[in-house]
Structure 1
Amino acid sequence: MKAVTEKISVVEKIGYSLGDLAANLIFQTLMAFIAFFYTDIYKIPPVTASAIIFGGGMFGAFFNPVMGIIADRTNTRWGKFRPWVLWTAIPFGLSAILAFATPNFSPTGKIIYALATYVFLVLVYSANNLPYSSLSGVMTGSMQQRNSISAYRFTAAMISQFIIQVLLLPLALIFGDGDKTVGFGKVMTMFAIIGIVFFIITFLTTKERIVPEKDQEATVKQDLSDLSKNRPWLMMLGVIVFLFITVSLKGGMYVYYFQDFVNREKLGLFLENIGFNGFIDGLNAAFVKIGLHGFQWPEDIATSGFSLFNALATICMIIGIMFSKRLADRIGKREVFKWGIIISATFQLSFFFCAPGAVGAIFLVQILHGLFYGLTIPMLWAMIADVADYSEWKNNRRATAIIFSAMIFGLKVGLSVGGALVAGILGWFGYAEQVVVQSDTTVLGIKLAMSVFPTITFAISVAFLMFYSIDKNMEVQIEKALEERRWKKKENKIQPAPATTNLPGANSILTEVEI
């Protein structure tokens, strides 16, 4: 029987990462565009859109613990978590298509449709992404291998982010022939099909190596009791809530920032001087030469600036991800995560001091923010897997999915609050989608939501992290202790004790199953 710390192949790491690429095609769209979609495309008032995002998102958030209980108690020949990735693949794609459709209903009908489809999407997302995330905690018992898996996973997530934040608006304009309403529907259909295929690949290429013994399984009451006593879990829950409030708030505000704050004349000159316009002209000419006349980059300056802004940041995040594993192996996940957040938050605050015409400074700040924020991205989910190990170490029971479900609950709360804040802040500061030039008050609100507000929530996230106790030394201690338990259990199976002998602690050990 192979050790649960065996090296994971590159094929399996890539296969696993494709699941996150698929999920993030939808997740990144929710973070960056759901408020914009509701206010500017489906024409729902900002305050109402805020209520839909918050109410629907919170409903989905409270489903996560239920899904965690279900996943931890799923037993199939494929494992506990892999089957859910397969079972939810098609519903996930369908829910995404419906959520970004624009049926011609009355104002009240639009609100009902938007709420119903948003709730459906977040419920399916929970049923898919919770088992998917939990899977990383049972593919291997090695924390270094988990760091590596996380690096692959979040490189894929960054590719999704690049596609969404850089290309979604241009693709919507191209596929819709200038009509964003039509274009959004076509693009989301394409993403849904890609996502279904990738989820199936994830199911086929991954393997669960760590599963609890039948006599180790706990009751729901025991799971909840373990969570309430797990201080690292409580601290990480706080970290995640405020981190995703921040991510959703700033990410959802980018499109308004370029549409209504950044000076278009200065932006156009900047794009011309750095050669971006020349590059796009050459790209368009190449498309025409091969007969793709419909795939012309939109001429809207704000869309081009927004796309390049996100492209540079995403590339820098990927660079940060590449360095994260090496740093985590040396100083520990907690320290990498903490300092990455602190430095990236400092650059986020710097947006407040950028004038509308200071386009170069705006891009430089985003590049530096992306570089340091990228260090934190793989660490988050690897740290949650460590929390699951901590729970097993302390309680002698493995409850991977309930821990991940609680964390994804925090993610959903953060996403809901952050998305609602985007629409709510716009409504509070008087945003009107039908006007070409927003009022000074509205522009100030957009500026604050890009700088001061997310810095505050970043700071709260760091405050919770200060009380997270799993540092580098404890990581090593937990890994060694759990590995020793697992090997002892295997030895006990190979050399069974006499029937009259009771082996203390035998019920607390995990073993590997061969699939």
Structure 2
Amino acid sequence: MTDATGKLSVREKIGYSLGDLAANLIFQTLVTFLAFFYTDVYRIPAASAAKVIFVVGLLGAFVFTPVIGVLADRTSTRWGKFRPWILWTAIPFGVLSLSAFTTPDLGQAGKTAYALATYTLLMLVYVANNLPYSALSGVLTGNMDQRNSLSSYRFVAVMIAQFIIQVLLLPLVLILGNGDKARGFEYTMALFAVIGTVFFLITFFTTRERVVPVSGEGSSIRQDLTDLMRNRPWRVMLLLTILVFVTLALKGGMYVYYFKYYLDPGALAHFVDAVGVNRAIEGLNRGLIGMGLAGFHWPQDAPTSAFSVFSAGGVLCMIGGICFSRRLADRYGKRDVFGGSLFLSTLCLLAYAFYPPDAVGLVMLSYMLHGFFYGISTPLLWAMIADVADYSEWRNHRRATAIIFSAMLCGLKTGLSIGGALVAAILAAYGYDGDAAVQSPSVVQGIRLTVSVYCAIPFLLGIALLFRYEINKSTEKRIEHDLELRRASAASSA
């Protein structure tokens, strides 16, 4: 292999990160609003919508992801292995994102079939874009400190996309559609499609693969899989990824119930007014209406309004945590910083078990601190997976970057599926009644335990797993040094 281990330019880091911003405008919309769009906008029966989402999720995790991983590792073009996939999928990604959120009148069976077809194609193109994109981070540079920096840039972009979707998407839908949600979703996704296509092209043109295979180096699919199963850091990262995303899906799905049924509506309304949100919305609407546009449709009920404010605060604090991630990882190593930040964020989750319904200020403080500490860990997960690819090459003298990332994306999708299913299962176990305006004390207690104790358990298991992850700071440096010498020797003898 040949490898340029010099410092990546800010231009290349920003160019790379724009690809994740583009992808997450769509991914975050799918995770947060696809079920709502199918049931409340396109009017597909809930059972049919659930089947579509579940079936396509399984296809994405266990069919599309491994197949694309194998193909990407065996791609060879003048642009490299992974960059071409970003170029090839840029326009199809935009077209299918728009198609999946359009609402042709086809009857109930036709709507379900249309949803299944468009979501399946979108998931296929998403995997064909995002898996090579993720693997690209492992071949832009062999310098592990630079990967820490690259991941920080990348996940600031992710948080920007998350902020746009969680806080601004529904108001944007209502504004662009002038109150018509179906038309608003189409216009919004058309806007995202154009922005995303441009950003993917910027990523392609501003990046360069530097860790490239020497002619003749290669391995069989069977050998790649054998290497994976013998790679203990990979096994640890797979389980860790599943556990992290179980908690993310579990708390993400349960927060809306926590705000609606546990926290006191009067205290929430007072908090939103006290921090100046209502005055800010009134000022914004005066400006929008003065320009001839529809007003910003801010949710009026206290739980939904407060949750939007909390989401905004949490995302901003996560961005703050990401900004500290690289410096801490450079000094102490990714493993130790990841475990420490995950532990502190877990303490913030456990604090919810002790707050009364009117302690809105404390809930907000814990929410923001959790966002900050978890933000430190966010870019490190993917940087550690790139290090696992280096570890595999170091031990086996073969590199299979994409298949390692594909396994982690399988873990991600598995964790999201388990966490999402646990939300419904826990609610059912405590006797949740969707038609009841007020839930029983046992249901409220179950919701409270879920956002605190139950969400903390996977994180704590993940922290324990890290004691089995052997790539600490000194091992990082040893791997980097050995691979640099090996690649230089291969290049000089080529």
- Note whether the superposition's TM-score is higher than 0.5: yes
CA contact (8 A) 1:429 1:441 kept: yes
2:39 and 2:492 mapped to 1: Cα distance?
Answer: 62
TM-score by length of 1: 0.88
Map 1:65-76; keep pairs closer than 5 Å.
65-76=66-77
CA contact (8 A) 1:35 1:422 kept: no
Counterpart residue number, 1:138? 139
Counterpart residue number, 1:268? 269
Counterpart residue number, 1:412? 413
2:39 and 2:421 mapped to 1: Cα distance?
Answer: 12
Counterpart residue number, 1:17? 17
| Matching of residue 219 in structure 1 with residue 220 in structure 2 | yes
Counterpart residue number, 1:390? 391
How far off its partner does 1:101 sit?
3.8
How far off its partner does 1:276 sit?
1.8
What is the aligned length? 493
Counterpart residue number, 2:60? 60
Counterpart residue number, 2:251? 250
2:197 and 2:263 mapped to 1: Cα distance?
Answer: 38
CA contact (8 A) 1:50 1:419 kept: no
Q: Structure 1, unaligned stretches of length 5 or more?
A: 494-515
Counterpart residue number, 2:197? 196
1:202 and 1:42 mapped to 2: Cα distance?
Answer: 33
| Matching of residue 351 in structure 1 with residue 352 in structure 2 | yes
Can you list the C-alpha shifts for 1:108-153, whole angstroms capped at 9, x where unaligned? 5555444444333322221110000010110111001111111111
CA contact (8 A) 2:100 2:118 kept: yes
Percent sequence identity is: 58
Q: 1:172 to 1:349 in 2, by over 3 A?
A: farther
How far off its partner does 1:432 sit?
6.3
How far off its partner does 1:372 sit?
0.3
1:453 and 1:386 mapped to 2: Cα distance?
Answer: 30
SS at match of 1:159: helix
Map 1:433-452; keep pairs closer than 5 Å.
443-452=444-453
SS at match of 2:309: helix
Counterpart residue number, 1:8? 8
Map 1:119-138; keep pairs closer than 5 Å.
119-138=120-139
Q: 1:333 to 1:138 in 2, by over 3 A?
A: same
1:118 and 1:460 mapped to 2: Cα distance?
Answer: 33
After TM superposition, the structure 1 stretch with the greater mean CA deviation from structure 2, 452-461 or 9-18, is: 452-461
2:310 and 2:35 mapped to 1: Cα distance?
Answer: 19
CA contact (8 A) 1:97 1:192 kept: yes
Counterpart residue number, 1:513? none
2:184 and 2:355 mapped to 1: Cα distance?
Answer: 33
| Matching of residue 167 in structure 1 with residue 168 in structure 2 | yes
2:429 and 2:118 mapped to 1: Cα distance?
Answer: 26
* AA at the equivalent of 2:352: F
After TM superposition, the structure 1 stretch with the greater mean CA deviation from structure 2, 228-237 or 100-109, is: 100-109
Counterpart residue number, 2:422? 421
Counterpart residue number, 1:502? none
How far off its partner does 1:293 sit?
4.1
2:448 and 2:441 mapped to 1: Cα distance?
Answer: 10
| Matching of residue 278 in structure 1 with residue 279 in structure 2 | yes
2:118 and 2:354 mapped to 1: Cα distance?
Answer: 39
Map 1:83-122; keep pairs closer than 5 Å.
83-104=84-105, 110-122=111-123
TM-score by length of 2: 0.92
2:175 and 2:234 mapped to 1: Cα distance?
Answer: 45
How far off its partner does 1:250 sit?
1.8
Counterpart residue number, 1:186? 187
CA contact (8 A) 2:214 2:491 kept: no
Can you list the C-alpha shifts for 1:241-292, whole angstroms capped at 9, x where unaligned? 1111221222233344434543332211111112221222222223334443
Q: Structure 2, unaligned stretches of length 5 or more?
A: none
Counterpart residue number, 2:484? 483
How far off its partner does 1:426 sit?
5.1
Counterpart residue number, 1:381? 382
1:152 and 1:16 mapped to 2: Cα distance?
Answer: 8
Q: 1:453 to 1:226 in 2, by over 3 A?
A: same
Map 1:35-50; keep pairs closer than 5 Å.
35-38=35-38, 40-42=40-42, 49-50=49-50
Q: 1:226 to 1:143 in 2, by over 3 A?
A: same
After TM superposition, the structure 1 stretch with the greater mean CA deviation from structure 2, 82-91 or 98-107, is: 98-107
Counterpart residue number, 1:27? 27
